[in-house]
Structure 1
Amino acid sequence: MSEQEKELRILRDQIDTIDGQLHELLNRRARCAQSVAEVKQKYQGDVSPVFYRPEREAQVLRAVMERNEGPLADKEVARLFREIMSVCLALEEPMRVAFLGPEGTFTQLAAMKHFGHSARHLPMQSLKDVFREVQSGAAHYGVVPIENSTEGVVSHTLDLFKQFDLKICGEVEVPVHLHLLLNRGDSLDGIRKIYSHQQSLAQSRCWLDVRYPDIEKVAVSSNAEAARLAAKEGKGCAAIAGDMAADLYDLDAAVKNIEDQIDNSTRFLIIGDQYVGPSGDDKTSILISVPDTPGALYQLLEPFHRYGVSLTRVETRSASKNSLFYIDFVGHNSDPVVQNALQDLIKNSIELKVLGSYPSAVL
C-alpha cells in the first residue's frame, strides 16, 4: 500500500466513524420529535394538535446559520437541517402542501424549499384551488406566488385574499433561472417553435429577440406545461423553463440562465389557518381600503413613519370609489408599535384586514 493510500485509509475510517455518530444522532432527534407529538396529543384533548410551528422552525434555522463555523456555507447547512426537520415532522404528521401546479413549476420548487421533500406536495390547477384546498382542511398549507422582481405583483393572489379567510404563515423567495430546453439530439439551429409561460417569455425577451427573433413563441399555462409540450411534439420544439421541468420531461438545458435580469426571483407566500407567534424577525401583511380622496396615500403611510415601522412593499389596487392597498412591513402584529400603527390606520380606513404576521424568509 502506497503512502497516499495509507493516509486516505485513515481519513476514510474517520469519515465512517463520523457517519455512524451522525446516524445515531439523527435517530435520537427523530425519537425526540415523536415524543413531542405524543406530548401534544396528550394535552390537546379533542382539539387537533398543531405539529408545524413556522416561528420555531425559523428560529432553529437561524440558530444553525449563526453557530456555523464552516467550511460548509451557512445556507447549505440550513438546507440540510430543513430536510432533517421535514423528515422528523413527517413522523409526527405527514404535511400536505397544495401548490399551483402542474409538477415541475417554480411554485413546487418553492414548496420543497420551504417544507422539505418529506411533505406531500399536491399540485392544483388554479390559485383559487390552492386557497380552497387549504380552507377546506384538505391541505395543511398552500404555496402561492405574490410577486416577481421583474414582472411585479401577482394581482390574482391579492384578490383571493379578499375572498378567503386564510392567513399568511410564511414566505419563501426562489431565484428564477430560465433555460432553453431541447429534446435530446436536437440542435440550437433546428428550433422552429418555443413554448413557455407568458412571464418567462417576458423575462427572457431580450435574449430571445437577439437569438431567435423570427421563431414562433407560444405562451402556455406554465413552464412545466411548456416542457411537456416540447417533449411531446419532439424534434424542433423547445421550451423555456427551469431545472425541475427539464428533469421531469427528460429535456436538455441547451442554454442556461437566459433570463434578462440575473437577479430575477419570485417571492411566494405560505397560506394556512393558524396564528403564527413572533420569531424575532418577522413581517406583517395587510389589505386596507381607504376613500379615494386627495391625500389618502399620505394619511395611510404617516402612521408607519410616526411609529418607526419600515415598509417593504406597497401595492395599489383600484376598487370603485375606494383605493385598496396591499402593504408588507417589518414587525409582528403583537409588537406594541405595530398595534399602535394599525389602530391609527383603522381610524382612516373603510376596511383593514391583517393577512398575517410570519417569519421573514430564512433561505
Structure 2
Amino acid sequence: MTDEKARLAELREQIDRIDRQIMDLISARARCAQEVANVKLAANPGQDVVFYRPEREAQVLRRIKDSNPGPLPDEEMARLFREIMSACLALEKPMHIAFLGPVGTFTQAAALKHFGHSVISVPLPAIDAVFREVESGAAHYGVVPVENSTEGMINHTLDMFMSSPLKICGEVQLRIHHHLLVSPKHRDEAITRIYSHQQSFAQCRQWLDTHRYGIERVTVSSNAEAARRAAEEPGAAAIAGDMAAELYGLEKLANCIEDRPDNTTRFLIIGRETVPPSGHDKSSILVSMRNKPGALYQLLEPFHRHGVSLTRIETRPSPSGTWAYVFYIDFEGHMEDDVIREVLSEVEAEAVELKRLGSYPIGVL
C-alpha cells in the first residue's frame, strides 16, 4: 500500500469513528429532548402543551454561532443544529407550519430555514388563508412575507394584522436568487414567453430589459406556478428559485438574474402565543394617531428620547375612515423591557389605538 492510500485509509477510519460518536451524541440529545417533553406533559396533564420555544431556540443558535471553532462557517454550523433541533422536536409532535404556497415558493424555503425540515409544511393559496389556518389552530405557526429589500413592504400582510389576533413570534430573512429556467426537453426551442410572479419581474427588470427585451412577460400567482408552466409548455421559461427548479426538473439558462445582489425578503412567523425575551429581540406595533399637527412627531419622540432604535416605520390607510392612517413600527427591544414599557405607555397616551403585535427574537439564520 502506498503512503497516500495508507494515509487515506487512516483518515477514513477516523471519520467513521467520529461519525459513530456524533450519532451517539445526537441520540443522547434526542433522549434529553424527549425527557423535557415528558416533564412538561407531567406538569400539565390534559392540556395542550407547547413544546416549541422560539426564544430558547434563538438562544441555542446564537450560542452555537458564537462558540463555533471552525472550519465550518458559523451559519453552516447553526443550520446543522437547526435541523437537529427540528428532528428532536418532531419526536414528540411534528409541527404543522402554514405558508403562502404553492409548494416550491420562497416562503416555503423560509419556513424550512426557520423551522427545519422535520415539520409538516402546509401550502395555502393566500396570505389571509395562512392567518385563518393559524387562528383556527389547524396550524401551529404560519410564515408570510412582509418586505423585500428591492420592492418594499407587502401591504396585504400589514393589513391582516389590523384585524387578526395573532402575534408575531419570529422573523427570518432569505436571500432571494432568481434564475431563468427552462425544461430540458424544450431547451433548444426559442423562448417566446416568460412566466413569473409580479414581484420577481420587478426584481429582475433591468436584467430582462437587457437580455430578454421584447419577450412576453406573463404574470402568474407564484414562481412555483411559473416553473410548473415552463415545465409543460414549449417556448416557455420561468423566473424562479432553486426549490422550484428542483421540484419541476428545470435547467438554468441564467443564474442569479436579480438586479440587486443583496436582494433579500423578510418573512414573519405568526402564532397564537406571546414569546418571552431571548436577550436580542425586536418588537412590532400598530398605532393609530389623532389627525392633528405634530402627530407623527408625538409618535416618534418617545423612541428618540429613550434611545430605542426603530428598524421600520410604514403607513397604511386605516379601515376606520377616509384619510386616516395607521403606522406599522418595528423597533429593537422586548415589550417586557422596562424602557420599552415606558415608551409604549407614552405612545399609548397620545394614540387613538395601539396594538401590540408581539416581541420576538431577531432572526439568527
Q: Is the structural similarity TM-score above 0.5?
A: yes
- What's the counterpart of residue 310 of structure 1? 309
Deviations, residues 126-162 of structure 1 (Å, cap 9, x unaligned): 1111000000000000000000001100110011111
> 289-298 vs 256-265, which deviates more?
289-298
Give the whole-Å Cα distance in 2 for the aligned partners of 1:188 and 1:284: 51
Partner of 2:11: helix, strand, or coil? helix
Whether the 8 Å contact between 2:170 and 2:268 is mirrored in structure 1 is yes
Match of residue 333, structure 2, among 331, 341, 352: 331
Give the whole-Å Cα distance in 1 for the aligned partners of 2:317 and 2:129: 25
Alignment of 1:144-155 (within 5 A): 144-155=144-155
What is the deviation of 1:67?
A: 0.7
What is the deviation of 1:176?
A: 0.5
- What's the counterpart of residue 68 of structure 1? 68
Give the whole-Å Cα distance in 2 for the aligned partners of 1:185 and 1:132: 40
Gaps of 5+ in 2: none
Shift of the 192–304 alpha-carbon distance from structure 1 to 2, 3 Å rule, reads same
Deviations, residues 153-175 of structure 1 (Å, cap 9, x unaligned): 01100111112100000000000
Alignment of 1:58-207 (within 5 A): 58-187=58-187, 190-207=190-207
The percent of aligned pairs where both chains have the same amino acid is: 60
Give the whole-Å Cα distance in 1 for the aligned partners of 2:186 and 2:94: 42
> 23-32 vs 179-188, which deviates more?
179-188
- What's the counterpart of residue 245 of structure 2? 246
Give the whole-Å Cα distance in 2 for the aligned partners of 1:116 and 1:314: 30
Deviations, residues 28-82 of structure 1 (Å, cap 9, x unaligned): 1111111111100000123211100000000000000111110000010000000
Partner of 1:62: helix, strand, or coil? helix
What is the deviation of 1:336?
A: 0.3
Shift of the 188–260 alpha-carbon distance from structure 1 to 2, 3 Å rule, reads farther
- What's the counterpart of residue 281 of structure 1? 280
When the two chains are superposed, the root-mean-square deviation of aligned CA atoms in Å is 1.0
Deviations, residues 98-125 of structure 1 (Å, cap 9, x unaligned): 0000000000000000000000000001
Whether the 8 Å contact between 2:159 and 2:316 is mirrored in structure 1 is no
Partner of 2:351: helix, strand, or coil? coil
Shift of the 295–188 alpha-carbon distance from structure 1 to 2, 3 Å rule, reads farther
Deviations, residues 280-337 of structure 1 (Å, cap 9, x unaligned): 0000000010123221111110000111110000001122243200000000000000
Gaps of 5+ in 1: none
> 179-188 vs 57-66, which deviates more?
179-188
Partner of 2:249: helix, strand, or coil? coil
Matched letter for residue 340 of structure 2 = V
Give the whole-Å Cα distance in 1 for the aligned partners of 2:69 and 2:21: 19
Whether the 8 Å contact between 1:291 and 1:321 is mirrored in structure 2 is no
Partner of 2:177: helix, strand, or coil? coil
Match of residue 343, structure 2, among 341, 344, 352: 341
Give the whole-Å Cα distance in 1 for the aligned partners of 2:273 and 2:185: 50
Matched letter for residue 38 of structure 2 = E
- What's the counterpart of residue 221 of structure 2? 221
Partner of 2:184: helix, strand, or coil? coil
Whether the 8 Å contact between 1:195 and 1:220 is mirrored in structure 2 is yes
Alignment of 1:253-272 (within 5 A): 253-272=252-271
Matched letter for residue 77 of structure 1 = M
Whether the 8 Å contact between 2:167 and 2:357 is mirrored in structure 1 is yes
Whether the 8 Å contact between 1:292 and 1:321 is mirrored in structure 2 is no
Deviations, residues 247-279 of structure 1 (Å, cap 9, x unaligned): 111100110100000100100000000110000
Matched letter for residue 126 of structure 2 = S
Whether the 8 Å contact between 1:291 and 1:323 is mirrored in structure 2 is no
TM-score w.r.t. the length of structure 2 is 0.98
Partner of 1:352: helix, strand, or coil? strand
Give the whole-Å Cα distance in 1 for the aligned partners of 2:74 and 2:355: 36
Task: Return structure 1 stretches of 4+ with deviation > 4 angstroms.
Answer: none
TM-score w.r.t. the length of structure 1 is 0.98
Whether the 8 Å contact between 1:193 and 1:216 is mirrored in structure 2 is yes
Give the whole-Å Cα distance in 2 for the aligned partners of 1:142 and 1:131: 7
**How many matched pairs?**
362
Match of residue 355, structure 1, among 354, 357, 363: 357
Matched letter for residue 101 of structure 1 = G
Whether the 8 Å contact between 1:179 and 1:240 is mirrored in structure 2 is yes
